[in-house]
Amino acid sequence: MRRLQLNRLRQMVDYCIEKIPFYTEQLSRAGILSGRDIKDLKDIERIPFTTKDDLKNNYPNGFLAVPRDKIARIHASSGTTGKPTLGYYTKRDMKTWAEASARVLCLNSIEAEDVLQISVGYGLFTGALGFHQGAELIGCTIVPASTGNTQKQLVMLHDVGVTALMATPSYATYLADLISQTKIPGDEYKITKVLLGAERCTNGMRNTIEKKLGVPTFDNYGLTECFGPGVAGECDAHCGMHISEDLFYPEIINPTSGKTLPEGEEGELVFTSLYREAMPLLRYRTRDITSLNYETCACGRTSVRMKAPYARTDDMIVFKGVNVFPSQIECAIDGIDGLSPHYHLKLERDGYQDTATLFVELVDPLELYAENKIHAINEQLQKRLSEIIIVKMKTKLVNPGTLQRFTGKAKRVEDLRYSQESTGQ
């Protein structure tokens, strides 16, 4: 694997220097004039990073390495501000991507006999079509349900005997809620596994889905800048996601200093495309915070594994001068009996003061009211929050079903501080 990676990296450096003016300049400034200047894999650290800002500044086709008529597909992910992030694919890329997705689905224990319902958005988003083409390679039955029309989703899940559901963790939690509430007995469903992706997944969400449906969940990781799904997926040992490291070379760096971190340490994930034709990226900073594990997995595979990213460098909220990650809030809620994983954090400005209110849904308020437990749960939540996040925030426990549900990526943090300021409040 290391030899293959080194060969591909050298070829990729030559390819980028020849095809992409941005890299011709970047690499020459770093003293790399050809692939031969990369003596071993460690030399990758000499290559400058590519950032989301670089993509933005060279939008829409500054990273395109082939002429337009060689492009077979264009995908896009919604940027949080302004322009989308584009993904370009040649015919060869489409083939590589399908194989990478099929590999990840195999990791997720998908077999030709499975009936796979893909309940993520079909369209510009890479998730659905990416998994779809991998599933076609495996030869399983595909139900392209996309998102929305939840009643029909449930009908399909039940009536055609779906064995595997693919959804975002939030939507899967919602569907699992509904399935466990219907009058149809749970064992009439044939679901044996739930595949998750497109969104960070908390243990609380996984536990909820697994408990309600009585089946295992498999996490997946991908990003438009690296094809989409197919980058990494979880096997049935459930201890990290195996990375397609022959296609994407991973590194972990300190997000502040940019220094490569030793094996096993936590930091920002960086990927270098090793085999991509249309839009190769060298040392692309994903902004995801995670760590890598190079030990052989219990499943027998030797490919490097990544932990589920627990935060994004750009999800960081600065509240009263303290860095707060949504994952810390999820961690505080996790494991408190009586609380569901559904929460909403509202940040506001009260005069010159920032305030934060955390709304969390209770699982069964009637039972808790009867037992006078709600006050104790709130205190427990306050304690957990003050242990994990140093600043104080208000907490409000609300009835099940009160907070918004998401069919796509969840937006659980609402920051009104700046909008309030600009309207003069």
Q: Kindly state the smallest distance separating residue 194's Cβ from Zn ion, in Å.
A: 18
The answer, yes or no, to whether the previous bond of 60 is cis (omega within 30 of 0) is yes
Helix axes 374-388, 326-333, angle to 10 degrees: 140
Whether the Cβ atoms of residue 119 and residue 165 lie closer than 8 Å to each other:
yes
For residue 154 the two structure tokens come to 């449930």
Closest to 128 (Cα-Cα) out of 407, 421, 416, 425: 407
Q: Kindly state the smallest distance separating residue 236's Cβ from Zn ion, in Å.
A: 7
Q: Kindly state the smallest distance separating residue 239's Cβ from Zn ion, in Å.
A: 7
**Type of residue numbered 172:** A
Pairwise CA distance, residues 200 & 168, whole Å: 9
Q: Which is nearer to Zn ion, 208 or 217 (CB)?
A: 217
Q: Kindly state the smallest distance separating residue 75's Cβ from Zn ion, in Å.
A: 28
Give the residue, chosen from 76, 261, 299, 398, that forms a contact with Zn ion under the rule CB under 5 A: 299
Q: Which is nearer to Zn ion, 111 or 379 (CB)?
A: 111
Sign of CA dihedral 290, 295, 301, 304: positive
Give the residue, chosen from 66, 237, 374, 388, that forms a contact with Zn ion under the rule CB under 5 A: 237
Q: Kindly state the smallest distance separating residue 55's Cβ from Zn ion, in Å.
A: 32
**Taking CB under 5 A as the criterion, which residues in 347-406 touch Zn ion?**
none
Alpha carbon 306 to its chain's center = 12
CA distances from 267 to 219, 255, 306, 311 (A): 20, 6, 11, 10
Binding mask 244-283 for Zn ion (x = CB under 5 A): ----------------------------------------
Whether the Cβ atoms of residue 378 and residue 397 lie closer than 8 Å to each other:
yes
Q: Which is nearer to Zn ion, 297 or 403 (CB)?
A: 297
Site size toward Zn ion, by CB under 5 A: 5
Whether the Cβ atoms of residue 193 and residue 215 lie closer than 8 Å to each other:
yes
Q: Kindly state the smallest distance separating residue 312's Cβ from Zn ion, in Å.
A: 25
Give the residue, chosen from 110, 179, 213, 235, that forms a contact with Zn ion under the rule CB under 5 A: 235
Pairwise CA distance, residues 185 & 286, whole Å: 43
Q: Which is nearer to Zn ion, 137 or 237 (CB)?
A: 237
Q: Which is nearer to Zn ion, 20 or 235 (CB)?
A: 235
Q: Which is nearer to Zn ion, 297 or 398 (CB)?
A: 297
Work out whether 106 is an interface residue with Zn ion (CB under 5 A): no
Q: Kindly state the smallest distance separating residue 171's Cβ from Zn ion, in Å.
A: 26
Q: For Zn ion, which stretch binds (CB under 5 A), given 38-46, 297-305, 383-391, 396-404?
A: 297-305
Q: Which is nearer to Zn ion, 237 or 413 (CB)?
A: 237
Q: What is the CA radius of gyration of the chain?
A: 23
Q: Which is nearer to Zn ion, 83 or 301 (CB)?
A: 301
Q: For Zn ion, which stretch binds (CB under 5 A), given 139-147, 233-241, 266-274, 392-400?
A: 233-241
Q: Kindly state the smallest distance separating residue 104's Cβ from Zn ion, in Å.
A: 12
Can you give the three-state secondary structure of 183-243, one letter per residue? CCCHHHCCCCEEEECCCCCCHHHHHHHHHHHCCCEECEEEEHHHCEEEEEEECCCCCCEEE
Burial (0-12, 13-18, 19+ Cβ within 10 Å), 102? buried
Pairwise CA distance, residues 236 & 251, whole Å: 24
Q: Which is nearer to Zn ion, 145 or 195 (CB)?
A: 195
Q: For Zn ion, which stretch binds (CB under 5 A), given 213-221, 228-236, 245-253, 279-287?
A: 228-236
Binding mask 182-221 for Zn ion (x = CB under 5 A): ----------------------------------------
Give the residue, chosen from 64, 72, 76, 297, that forms a contact with Zn ion under the rule CB under 5 A: 297
- Interface residues with Zn ion (CB under 5 A) are 235, 237, 297, 299, 301
